[in-house]
Structure 1
Amino acid sequence: MDDHLLIKQMAENQKNAFDLFYEKYHRYIFQIAYNIIKNRLEAEDICHDVLIEIYQKANQYSTDRGSVKAWIAIRTRSRALDRLRKKTELLANKMEDILTKVSPAADQYVIENMEKEVLQRALNRLPLEQRQAIYYMYFDQFTQKEIALELGRPLGSVKSSVRYGLQNLRKQKSLLRWISSSGGDK
């Protein structure tokens, strides 16, 4: 069935149109959310939220603004970014991926640069021993044993520095509000 017709029927509250729309797009929506969040349960929640939002706001779609698929992608991306901004733990846990991953798409590049900037500021607030251990581990990809040799510190101290450093990053207010706009909240 044609996407425009599905949207029109959903705007008229036809539930069978939503069922068809769901079957056609739920994997697409999930994949976009997962690519941003990197957490299956969060991506499933976002997928659910986006599908409900599209059903409830189907009358807002306009062919002048682009394809249905693009409209869906923009809504999904927006919800995923909103969720990422609100979930400090997700942001902190993505640190390794953010710092080491090569970004294939321009929008991912922008998002990752924003995240890197926030993380860099947060890292600069850590005590020197914690910051050094995290830099060596995530930027230079040293093992904890190599870090201990490089810094001339016991292995246990290095492990503690990494652990406490990551805990301190999770607690920082700059990570809690890394982007202050709430864009698109319900």
Structure 2
Amino acid sequence: MSAQEILASAGSFSTHDLLLFEEKTLRKVFKKNDTILLRGEICQSVYFILYGSFVQFQSNDATETIIDLHLPKEWMYNHPSLIEQKPSGTTIKAFEDAEVIELSLSNLHELIARSPAFLSLGRIFGQANHRTYLFDNALNPAQKYNYIKNAKPLIVQVFPVKMIASYLKITPETLSRVRANRYIS
């Protein structure tokens, strides 16, 4: 995937901008269960997922609560930790083998200083809107499932029901009923 394809959703960039972007980013490969960000670390980068998937979760004793599920062709980071530069309350790990483009916060600032076109990368920080919509609109389980299927269609092909249910804050049994009713009606 080229820099132009990666940046297409953020705006329009000159050839010079694309070369700057390639100069300031790193390509990284992760194996299943590799950790990108540990709870307590401060998030210092954003990642564009080329292939593979990631899970962002909080763990308390023996339970993991899914905070976000990340798929190819989307930007990934821990929003509160990156924006406020405070320790992360979540862990991000590879759900399967994956490859990403990493852009550190310091390199992002340098890109913006060198070309105003990179101000449009601010759009990647609006991705938290999916979670906000899901949990600020008192949606019932069927509405939550339909919303996430429309926002992230591959989610049901990549992640197990238990993880999707945790992400949607419903039980796996409820999600199974919602999915079964979808195919009946």
* TM-score normalised by structure 2 residue count: 0.27
Greater Cα radius of gyration, structure 1 or 2: 1
* TM-score normalised by structure 1 residue count: 0.27
Higher helix content, 1 or 2: 1
